[in-house]
C-alpha cells in the first residue's frame, strides 16, 4: 500500500535572504512571463503548438532553428536590455 505524506514548514529568512529570494523570484517571474508571451504569440500568429521543436525565421529566412535555444537567446537578450535600462 502506497502512503503519501505531507509536511508543512515555516521559513524565517534573514533580511539578506529576503532580498535574495525577492530577486530570485523576480527573475523567475520575468522568465516565466517572457516564455508565456513567446508561446502565446507562436500559437496565435503561426498556430504553433509545443510539439513543434524547430522554427523558421520569417525575417532572415534561417530554417530549422531549435525552438528552445531560440527562446533562451530571446530571454537573455530581453533580460540584458532590461538590466541595461535599470542601470542607466
Ligand atoms: Zn532571423
Domain that holds residue 81: 25-87
Ligand 1 centroid to Cα of residue 18, in Å, is 40
Ligand 1 centroid to Cα of residue 37, in Å, is 18
pLDDT at 25: 94
Extract the C-alpha cell encoding 71: 527562446
Distance, CA of 26 to CA of 80 (rounded, Å): 14
Whether residue 12 is contained in a domain is answered as no
DSSP track, 15-45: HHHHHHHHHHHHHHHHHHHHHHHHHHHHHHH
Whether residue 46 is contained in a domain is answered as yes
Ligand 1 centroid to Cα of residue 83, in Å, is 24
84 pLDDT higher than 70: yes
Residue 39 CB contacts under 8 Å (≥ 6 apart), including other chains: 50
* Total number of domains in the chain: 1
Ligand 1 centroid to Cα of residue 33, in Å, is 22
Whether residue 19 is contained in a domain is answered as no
Ligand 1 centroid to Cα of residue 60, in Å, is 4
Q: What is the tens place of the pLDDT at every residue in 55-78?
A: 888 899 999 999 889 888 888 888
Distance, CA of 40 to CA of 47 (rounded, Å): 9
Amino acid at each position: 500500500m502506497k502512503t503519501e505524506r505531507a509536511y508543512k514548514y515555516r521559513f524565517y529568512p534573514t533580511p539578506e535572504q529576503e532580498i535574495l529570494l525577492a530577486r530570485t523570484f523576480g527573475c523567475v517571474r520575468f522568465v516565466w512571463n517572457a516564455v508565456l508571451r513567446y508561446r502565446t504569440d507562436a500559437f496565435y500568429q503561426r498556430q504553433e503548438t509545443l510539439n513543434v521543436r524547430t522554427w523558421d525565421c520569417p525575417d532572415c529566412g534561417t530554417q530549422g532553428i531549435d525552438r528552445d535555444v531560440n527562446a533562451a537567446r530571446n530571454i537573455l537578450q530581453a533580460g540584458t536590455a532590461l538590466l541595461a535600462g535599470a542601470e542607466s
